[in-house]
Chains A and B, each alone.
Chain A
């Protein structure tokens, strides 16, 4: 081997070694606080680790995939999964739609008090959910609630938001969308402000209507950001927990029980940590698959 190239290899490996040193602290922290616990949880999901096992290791049974098999046969797990998918299917498009709408409004050239509206729309994101839940519980109240009062003005009969198993999840969706749309709005707003003004000028000269401008200039320019926003929102919404926890405790009739809530109850309420870990891995697999699909879809659309 010629000397020059060997030297190049040596130099590169020295550089590589230095790089490893630089990322070592992060790697160590990650493996101690993330990879090891994940591995531990994976092993735990193959056992029936519970209260009895906590008191004495001899009460621990290695049961292979039985936790997973039992979960897949548990109607409650399917119910939780169904509820979560329903929440995601309803909540994610609605959330992104509202975010986009408000971002466009706040970005509109005619809009006044932009800074004020930006702050107002972002405010729910930074408020404490527990405090907000108290207010929303009144808003959703069947007899005294503002929402039913407003609907009554439109001639709609009062809805038992928190008590009717059919309406509890939509109520949770309304709360979640209200709480979260501001975050995506800020991201979309930043993206909107990055669209070159010349495109709009060109469109105007060509005589495009504002709807055409939106469809053919704004939305295509937002596409990469939209992909990011939809993945972030979807993964966030799959992990629905706090809203039902503070509003309904999974009720009525378990209609707002989410997968994460199911896992929380299995793990920390009933201390069946083996089963809870299995739930966590099933949820992870599900979210992973959906994210990969989304990415592939986004890439294909870009190519097209």
Chain B
């Protein structure tokens, strides 16, 4: 690993040298982007630099697995960039660190970014104490991928819209495929499917302004019972995603017929499903307890760090990246779906049969609690669910323990809130 990194550094040296040789009079803007978006960002900013010859954008790519760590380290070492792509559940965390610049003023003077054009559910995670700290860059929500052919064999022509319908379909599919195959895949190391089911009920997951855990309420219990029921009735295999060698292959084999996942998998399924099965799969909005259900308001935002000396240039780049034309091109390059209505008015998006379900879901999303500790709480929630599913604990025991550990995680937050 180290040797490979050394080689990579060595190969990149000439590149770095050429980057460092920047012309006088040009302002250097540092932009950090994560994962695949990082690779595409370089391509995207070229046009921006042609439009703004006095700004030179330096894009740095971070891998998802190390991004959070690297951002916090950069914060501690005061080396944060000017503009950055930030997962929208991290916004509250970096706002709590007082690391983000509020964007309200820029927005009120902006021609390119009109807030009322954005899907409101995706603005919400960026708003902390009534101030906006990030502009949504692309959205991510979870919904159903399903095998149309297997559902048809089980006697259904349309995807489910309610839990009840879904239950009937799951039972019928399971009957059809037998003991070695399943109706739905809910990887035990992913908390998102359970979170979607929980967000479909009105009660909040934390109470008293995010001071205490609220997982013992009747609503969360209903979500948990539904989730656990899918395993108890053998509709879902008790597996984690590291155990499945390849989710796409297994989907093609019919190992499962329903899968809850995000927009990136459209491209993956298109690429990896065998030609004969290309017509056999489809996407559908999440079914809810009684009628179409909500899903998670996920995605990534563009944020400007408070420490940046080039905030107005950073905002110009954020504006450029938020233009409908840029976002459409971004979608073509990455499959990342745009957060604005205007950007959806593109033939590529309108013609994609798989994107349609996402478009529907975008109007029905909800964000998880906006506390900096959320990711840790969600992980605990996933572990509690795993204990129930693997019959190590009853729902009662697991939820009591979950509330206790969440209360402990939030101890510092309570202390901070009381002090201020």
Contact = CB atoms under 8 A, between A and B. Distances in A.
A130 B1 contact: yes
A56 B76 CA distance: 11
Contacts of B416: 52, 59
A230 interface: no
Nearest to B255: A143
Given A249-B189, A252-B240, A271 B97 contact: no
B411 to A, nearest CB: 9
A251 B97 contact: no
A253 B245 contact: no
Contact of A163 (B69, B72, B93, B239): B239
B348 interface: no
A163 B238 contact: yes
Contact of A268 (B69, B239, B240): B69
A278 to B, nearest CB: 15
A137 B242 CA distance: 8
Nearest to B97: A55
Interface string A232-273: 000000000000000111011110000000000000111100
A142 B242 CA distance: 12
Nearest to B68: A269
B182 to A, nearest CB: 13
Contacts of A51: 72, 93, 96-97, 372
A50 B76 contact: no
B55 interface: no
Contact of A253 (B1, B75, B98, B386): B386
Nearest to A267: B69
A52 B390 contact: no
A20 interface: no
Contact count band on B: 20 to 34
Contacts of A165: 390
Contacts of B188: 251-252
B109 interface: no
Residue among B238, B239, B245 facing the most chain A CB atoms (10 A cut-off): B245
A31 to B, nearest CB: 23
B108 interface: no
9 contacts: A55-B97, A55-B98, A59-B412, A137-B242, A162-B242, A249-B242, A251-B242, A251-B386, A254-B383
A271 B392 CA distance: 29
Nearest to B3: A128
A160 B188 CA distance: 15
Enumerate the 3 nearest inter-chain pairs by beta-carbon distance, A residue then B residue, closest first.
Answer: A55-B97, A162-B243, A163-B243
Interface in A16-73: 48, 50-52, 54-56, 59, 61
Contacts of A271: 72
Contact count band on A: 20 to 34
A138 interface: yes
A144 B245 contact: yes
Contacts of B245: 137-138, 141, 144
Nearest to B386: A253
Contacts of A144: 245
A128 B383 contact: no
Contacts of A163: 238-240, 243
Nearest to A142: B243
A249 B241 CA distance: 11
B103 interface: no
Interface string B82-110: 00000000000100111100000000000
A212 B359 CA distance: 78
A5 B68 CA distance: 66
A162 to B, nearest CB: 5
A271 B412 CA distance: 13
Contacts of B242: 137, 162, 247-249, 251
B240 A52 contact: no
A251 B240 contact: yes
Contacts of B240: 162-163, 248, 251-252
A54 B75 contact: yes
B243 A253 contact: no
Nearest to A75: B401
Interface in B297-315: none
Interface in A156-192: 160, 162-163, 165
Given A249-B189, A251-B188, A52 B376 contact: no
B61 interface: no
Given A52-B412, A269-B69, 6 more contacts: A55-B97, A61-B415, A137-B245, A160-B243, A163-B240, A251-B240
B387 interface: yes
Contact of A55 (B1, B68, B99, B238): B99
A254 to B, nearest CB: 7
Contact of B96 (A55, A128, A252): A55
Contact of A251 (B75, B99, B189, B415): B189
A52 B411 CA distance: 12
B412 A50 contact: yes
Contacts of B99: 55
Nearest to A50: B412
Contact of A252 (B76, B372, B390): B390
A230 to B, nearest CB: 28
Interface in B39-81: 68-69, 72, 75-76
Contacts of A268: 69
Contact of B392 (A138, A249, A253): A253
Contacts of B415: 61
A67 to B, nearest CB: 13
B285 to A, nearest CB: 30
A163 B390 CA distance: 10
Contacts of B72: 51, 54, 271
A7 B79 CA distance: 58
